[in-house]
Amino acid sequence: MITQKGQSIEDKSMEIIDSEIGTHPYSPDEWTIVKRIIHSTADFDFARDNKVVFHKDAIQSAIDALQKGCNIVVDVNGVIGGFNKDNMKKFGNQVICNISDPIVIEEAKKLNKTRAQTSMRLAAKQMNRGIVAIGNAPTALVEVVQMIKEGLTSPALVIGIPVGFVCAVESKDELRASNVPYITNIGRKGGSPCASAIVNALYKILAARKSS
């Protein structure tokens, strides 16, 4: 629960972002998400060169899934650290991260894959009709896209915003070419705080709709 002082700082930050960015091409709901990413990173590139890209069904699909208590599958524990846990409690959403599971570690060694890849395979059923939030590992995003192609899972939304120099750009390109609702960005930038910010923003949109 945010304090009054904390809320005033957040509100001021959002005002600064609005004033500095000026005009932008995003819808109100999309801007809620992009603005929260900028707030978490202090990086205006997410509205410019490294712009955030939305599948046309992304926000509605995610809102519907969250309301139904869907799972939220993440690639690393760092994404969980940025979540507003009150939201999950309110709607009964379970957060799943298998990156440190001994089974994942052993299987990754055996198959010569990354733990992130293997952890996604382990969560195939749990991410079905749920939200996948990837902020750190491009190989996790590649694996999820491949699993969708194989018909092993069908998430309501894939948030694919991994950071990095190896495969980060390519993994996002593959996501945009897929037939799943997605939120991603152009380029190498990203990170766990971005993935967390997107999920938190989706809850804000959901709360605004329920109160209207």
Residues annotated catalytic, as ranges: 39
Contact (CB, 8 A) for 181 and 57: yes
Return d(Cα 152, Cα 123) in angstroms, integer.
Answer: 10
> Which phi and psi angles does 55 have, rounded to 5°?
-65, 145
Q: Which amino acid is it at 80?
A: I
**Sheet of 72-74: strands edge to edge?**
52-54, 182-185, 157-160, 131-134, 72-74, 95-96
The tokens of 201 are what? 């923003």
Return d(Cα 109, Cα 107) in angstroms, integer.
Answer: 5
Q: Is the dihedral of CA 60, 173, 195, 36 positive or negative?
A: negative
Return d(Cα 78, Cα 199) in angstroms, integer.
Answer: 13
Question: Nearest to residue 143, comparing CAs of 103, 202, 185, 98?
Answer: 98
5: exposed, middle or buried (C-beta count within 10 Å: 0-12, 13-18, 19+)? exposed
